[in-house]
């Protein structure tokens, strides 16, 4: 079992002026725990719960990159192959750029 120090979370929330947060821990490809802290809406004093929705912004880029690199590590995808050779339901349209250089996962992840 992974232990979360609630005091440390509270200190970080205060230091960064975060009113509410949900911390999920994934262990061995499974959701190990979900811990909710603070409020989702300060004026209404609504506590964060398992159904709270947060604006994650650019964190999706990190998650996408990690998943992509895992699939590359497993040999299911390739960083330097034309993505059109790896995708099934959608293709990058031919254009001036793709005439001289094909789009690869490496180029997409570096964008």
What's the domain range around 44?
A: 1-54
- Residues 78, 102, single domain; the answer is yes
Lowest mean pLDDT among 1-5, 8-12, 41-45, 98-102: 1-5
What pLDDT is attached to residue 96?
92
Predicted confidence (pLDDT) per residue in 38-93, tens digit: 999 878 889 999 999 888 778 888 888 999 999 999 999 999 999 999 988 999 99
Q: Could you count the other beta carbons within 10 Å of the beta carbon of residue 40?
A: 19
What is the C-alpha separation between 86 and 77, in angstroms, rounded?
Answer: 7
- Residues 68, 49, single domain; the answer is no
What pLDDT is attached to residue 2?
63
- Residues 64, 111, single domain; the answer is yes
Mean pLDDT of 5-24: 90
- Residues 39, 61, single domain; the answer is no
- Residues 62, 50, single domain; the answer is no
- Residues 23, 10, single domain; the answer is yes
- Residues 27, 68, single domain; the answer is no
């Amino acid at each position: 079992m992974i232990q979360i120090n609630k005091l440390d979370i509270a200190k970080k929330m205060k230091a960064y002026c975060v009113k509410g947060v949900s911390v999920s821990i994934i262990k061995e490809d499974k959701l190990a725990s979900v811990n909710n802290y603070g409020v989702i809406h300060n004026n209404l004093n609504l506590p964060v719960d398992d159904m709270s929705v947060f604006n994650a912004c650019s964190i999706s880029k990190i998650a996408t990159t990690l998943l992509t690199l895992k699939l590359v590590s497993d040999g299911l995808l390739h960083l330097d192959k034309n993505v059109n050779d790896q995708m099934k339901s959608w293709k990058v349209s031919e254009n001036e750029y793709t005439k001289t250089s094909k789009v690869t996962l490496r180029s997409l992840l570096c964008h």
